[in-house]
Chains A and B, each alone.
Chain A
């Protein structure tokens, strides 16, 4: 007994040490790169921080950007738990945006009140995401197409569909523009906390809710445990009597619902129209966040917030330092990379004792 307890404490300690080490390594490398470009790294970080929390307005922008990222991450927690790499989440966000736009377009001239139209549009967006996710899921379970390849393909199709709609059936009268479809009337914009702010409370609440749902379902429900079993060993899960592909499809559907919601939020609360790159890469960033937190619902929210802050804060870089704002992406990528490497090393060091991982 005492032996076992020491082993566990050791484990936690090494976890923290390795985690910190990875973060430091990522920062060190980013710092080196910034320094190599002849810029002052501290100034760069200072600008990012200033640009992320320097004023209530930019902090609100961070939250605006956190909402779709948190939603995507919450969704991905389900698919990752189910052992699935839902690369197709980008397309699911796009389809959510498309369905949402479609609902708004169909309902905007009716007598329905704006609140109801928005509610319908959000629901439609979620349906769109679910639909696209289930396509990837069906390709996987019934077509034997790996979800990564299926997802990638569906992402391309979603982008193409989106562009076709923007440049085709949903184009502005006489004009086809990359700027997207004609903006909706302001009544149909998701209400924001103030006229100056971009932050809408309803999407914020929905994103928090999504994370809470993910936490509750994955941590404490039979569904979560079963999904975990399917994710870690589908064959054994099947022999244990768990309907394997049904769980996989369900996790796809849940992820698609959250992704679709993210897309609907982008349309109804951020851009107020459909634009070509409506998914804004939130799906891919969500994948990074989910990997970084090792698929834990507890840390998903804070880390997503950190990533959102990096992205929003880094807008200052080109303005002030003439540095490319993709530095934020570099930091994010390095973080994920080093944390994954750190995890691998830690498991390798500990794994020798355990025998397997």
Chain B
């Protein structure tokens, strides 16, 4: 089946989200849709899958124009969309979620559905239990469930919107293998991403959007530099690793233990020195998030000693605010949920981030502070912009700009999750500036490339076990991927890093 998008345009007020986009895709093809955040990728795919209607333009299958008014129309025509947040029902059982939305009348044929589910699942080597609760699945498994469901509903075209955000390396590999297998069977896959390396690894063709316009397309093999130029309209370079000599101790964890009975991480020994960047890798739910929070006093450690600076007095039981006073700062991954205050402006955030002088807010000083911070962090926004109106990258910049000026240790969850390359580079540039000034960074990420690229040392979590600090030079994506999947642990006799 050949798919053609002809002159698709869509406006939101003054904003041209899609400006006369035309694209033809041959069957059995994995088409990458590249572009930075806000380039118009999602709009285009939502039009394609019936969630939005174009202002003009048409969608043509094998020379036949289609009318798609709703997602229902789309799936009837064989177009299925996998959203960034899978549209599933967490309290349901897997099999019920699978059946839900099937056109099988009021009483679904559960037995047949179960058989179909099992055979589809076996075809792609998924190990989903039909009786498990959806809520208990990882993001990767939920994607698998959604793919099975869409295939079962007869999808011949599959659209995936940023599917590699929030899943582990192994899950990503499995997803890519599945998608390749589907393409081999003649299906068309649209892969929407801002991650060049994912597109490179998976797609046979790539189209690049910038500011609502299709700026170019390319077939495999890709010229990566050319793709980057198309995405940003300019050259960008990845920052290099810092070359600071590590300074004094900022965080020492001795036989640290966190977690509950269900997942207990024991005997973590760790020393973080000024200027160091330490990356924490692990599959989702391996306890690395708990550990990171324990390092900032956001969860109570279950045991061991967590000491700051050169001090021997453990901080166990102290609150985050006491850690803050000792120079620890925490950057959460969920920016709008945990990091910023929706409804408050950038200026108000800056005012909140500094120590109040007097009872009343000095409006002039606050304005000056905002101008300065907005400029220093290159935030696209005004002092009175509510933070929720900013793009993800700008929110992350805002979050960084709120960090206290003198931080000894910054703990970061997924520093660049969901961000485009330009923002990623910018964020890390700023973090590295901090390192150069002697701040240590401890971050967790599910992006193995990010860990390897920016960390001096790496800590790997797997099923309650933790490696000692490993120099990142001695690792590569393959090896790190194996470690977070539980392979190659024989080399470590527990965590004995001193």
**Which A residues fall within an 8 A CB radius of B?**
3-4, 216, 220-223, 225-226, 228-229, 232-233, 235-243, 353-357
Closest A residue to B357 using CB positions: A222
Whether B352 contacts A232 by the Cβ 8 Å rule is no
B324 within 8 A of A: yes
Known contacts A222-B351, A355-B388; A235/B361 CB under 8 A: no
Knowing that A236-B337, A236-B340 are A-B contacts, what are 6 other residue pairs whose CB atoms are under 8 Å apart, sorted by A's residue number?
Answer: A220-B363, A221-B359, A228-B343, A237-B352, A239-B320, A240-B352
Partner of A228, one of B344, B356, B382, B388: B344
Residues of A within 8 A of B341 (CB): 228-229, 232-233, 236-237, 240
For B339, the chain A residues whose CB sits under 8 A away are 236, 239
Q: Is B332 an interface residue (CB 8 A)?
A: yes
Closest to A223 in B: B359
Instruction: Return chain B residues, CB-CB under 8 Å to A233.
Output: 337-338, 340-342
- Asked if A221 and B361 sit within 8 Å, CB to CB, the answer is yes
Contact between B388 and A243 (Cβ–Cβ < 8 Å)?
no
Question: Is B13 at the interface (CB under 8 A from chain A)?
Answer: yes
Contacts of B348 in A (CB 8 A): 225, 228-229
B356-397: CB near A (< 8 Å → 1, else 0) gives: 101111010000000000000000001000001100000000
Residues of B contacting A228 with CB < 8 Å?
341, 343-344, 348
CB atoms of A242 and B320 under 8 A apart = no
Closest to A243 in B: B321
When C-beta atoms are compared, the residue in chain B nearest to A220 turns out to be B360
- Cα of A242 to Cα of B388 in the assembled complex, Å: 20
- Partner of A239 from the list B330, B356, B361, B389 (CB cut-off 8 Å) is B330
Q: List 30 A-B contacts (CB under 8 A).
A: A220-B363, A222-B351, A222-B356, A222-B358, A222-B361, A225-B344, A225-B348, A225-B352, A228-B348, A232-B344, A233-B338, A233-B340, A233-B341, A236-B332, A236-B338, A236-B340, A236-B341, A237-B341, A237-B352, A238-B320, A239-B320, A239-B332, A240-B349, A240-B352, A240-B353, A241-B321, A241-B353, A243-B321, A353-B12, A354-B388
Given A222-B356, A356-B336, check contact A241 B324 (CB 8 Å).
yes
Contact: A229 with B352, CB < 8 Å? yes
B280 within 8 A of A: no
**B402 at interface, CB cutoff 8 A:** yes
Min CB gap A228→B, angstroms: 7
Nearest Cβ on chain B to A169's Cβ, whole angstroms:
42
Q: Does B498 contact A (CB under 8 A)?
A: no
B107: chain A residues at CB < 8 Å are none
Residue-wise interface mask of B (83-110) relative to A, using a CB-CB cutoff of 8 A (1 in contact, 0 not): 0000000000000000000000000000
A4 CB to closest chain B CB, in angstroms? 8
Q: Which residue of A lies closest to B402 (CB)?
A: A240
A103 to B21, CA, bound (A): 78
Q: Is B14 an interface residue (CB 8 A)?
A: yes
Q: In this complex, what residue of B is CB-closest to A226?
A: B352
Q: Which residues of B contact A4 (CB under 8 A)?
A: 382
Give Cα A220–Cα B365 distance, bound, in whole angstroms.
13
| Nearest 10 interchain pairs by C-beta | A222-B356, A233-B341, A235-B338, A232-B343, A229-B341, A356-B388, A232-B341, A236-B341, A220-B360, A221-B360
> Could you say which residues of chain A place their CB within 8 Å of the CB of B342?
232-233, 356-357
Complex alpha-carbon distance, A229 and B341, angstroms: 6
CB-based nearest B residue for A229: B341
B320→A222 contact, CB < 8 A: no
Q: Which residue of A lies closest to B332 (CB)?
A: A239
Closest B residue to A1 by beta carbon equals B382
Kindly state the separation between the CA atoms of A242 and B343 in the bound complex, as whole angstroms.
17
Complex Cα distance, B361 from A354, in Å, reads 28
Q: Which of A3, A239, A240, A355 has the most CB of B within 10 A?
A: A239
Q: Chain A residues near B388 (CB, 8 Å)? A: 354-357
A14 CB, min distance to chain B CBs, angstroms: 14
Q: Shortest Cβ distance from B339 into chain A, in angstroms?
A: 5
Q: Which residue on B lies nearest to A10, using beta carbons?
A: B13
Report A30 CB to chain B, min CB distance, Å: 32
Residues from chain A with Cβ under 8 Å of B356 in the complex = 222, 226
Q: Inside 8 A of A220's CB, which chain B residues have their CB?
A: 360-361, 363
From A242, A353, A355, B13 is in contact (CB under 8 Å) with A353
Set of chain A residues within 8 Å of B344, measured between Cβ atoms: 225, 228-229, 232
Interface residues of B in 442-466 (CB under 8 A from A): none
Assembled-state Cα–Cα distance A353/B497 (Å): 52
Q: In whole Å, how far is B90's beta carbon from the nearest beta carbon of chain A?
A: 21
**A239 — which chain B residues lie within 8 A by C-beta?**
320, 330, 332, 338-339
Q: How far is the CA of A216 from the CA of B360 in the complex (A)?
A: 9
> In the complex the two chains form, is A225's CB within 8 Å of B338's CB?
no
Instruction: List the B side residues contacting A356 at CB < 8 Å.
Output: 336, 342, 388
CA distance A241 to B352 in the complex (A): 9
Cα A355 to Cα B395 in complex, Å, equals 14
Q: A43 to nearest B CB, angstroms?
A: 44
Inter-chain contacts of B321 with A (CB < 8 A) = 238, 241, 243
Give the distance in Å from the alpha carbon of A223 to the alpha carbon of B389 in the complex.
25
Which chain A positions have C-beta within 8 A of B402?
240
A240 to B340, CA, bound (A): 8
Complex CA distance for A235 and B335, rounded to whole angstroms: 11
CA gap between A356 and B341 in the complex, in Å: 13
Of B320, B341, B349, B402, the most chain A CB neighbours within 10 A belong to B341
- Complex Cα spacing A316 to B343, Å: 43
How far is the CB of A25 from the nearest CB of chain B, in Å? 27
Distance A236 CA – B324 CA, assembled complex (angstroms): 14
* A356 vs chain B, min Cβ distance (A): 5
Which residues of A have CB within 8 Å of B340? 233, 236
Q: What is the minimal beta-carbon distance from B388 to any residue of chain A, in angstroms?
A: 5
Query: Which residues of A have CB within 8 Å of B343?
Result: 228, 232
Chain B's closest residue to A239 (CB) is: B330
Q: How far is the CB of A112 from chain B (nearest CB, A)?
A: 34
Give the Cβ gap from A246 to chain B, nearest Cβ, in Å.
Answer: 10
How many angstroms from the CA of A357 to the CA of B333 in the assembled complex?
A: 20
CA distance A4 to B339 in the complex (A): 26
Whether the Cβ atoms of B352 and A242 lie closer than 8 Å is yes
Pick the residue among A3, A216, A354 that contacts B14 (CB under 8 A). Answer: A3
User: What A residues does B389 contact at CB under 8 A?
Assistant: 354-355
B327 → chain A closest CB, angstroms: 12
A242 to B341, CA, bound (A): 12
A13 to chain B, nearest CB (A): 15
Give the distance in Å from the alpha carbon of A223 to the alpha carbon of B351 in the complex.
11
Q: How far is the CA of A247 from the CA of B320 in the complex (A)?
A: 16
Least CB separation from A7: chain B residue: B13
A228 to B347, CA, bound (A): 14
Question: Smallest Cβ distance from A279 to chain B, in angstroms?
Answer: 31
B residues in contact with A354, CB < 8 Å: 388-389
- The complex places the Cα of A306 from the Cα of B332 at a distance, in Å, of 45
Q: Which residue of A lies closest to B335 (CB)?
A: A236
* Docked complex Cα distance between A221 and B404 (Å): 21
| Contacts A229-B341, A233-B341, A355-B388; A222 near B13 (Cβ below 8 A) | no
B363 (CB) vs chain A CBs: closest residue: A220
Distance in angstroms from A10 CB to nearest chain B CB is 10
Question: Given A220-B361, A237-B341, A238-B320, A225 and B351 touching (CB < 8 A)?
Answer: yes
Contacts of B13 in A (CB 8 A): 353
How far apart are the CA atoms of A238 and B361 in the complex, in Å? 20
Bound form: Cα–Cα A357–B343 in Å: 8
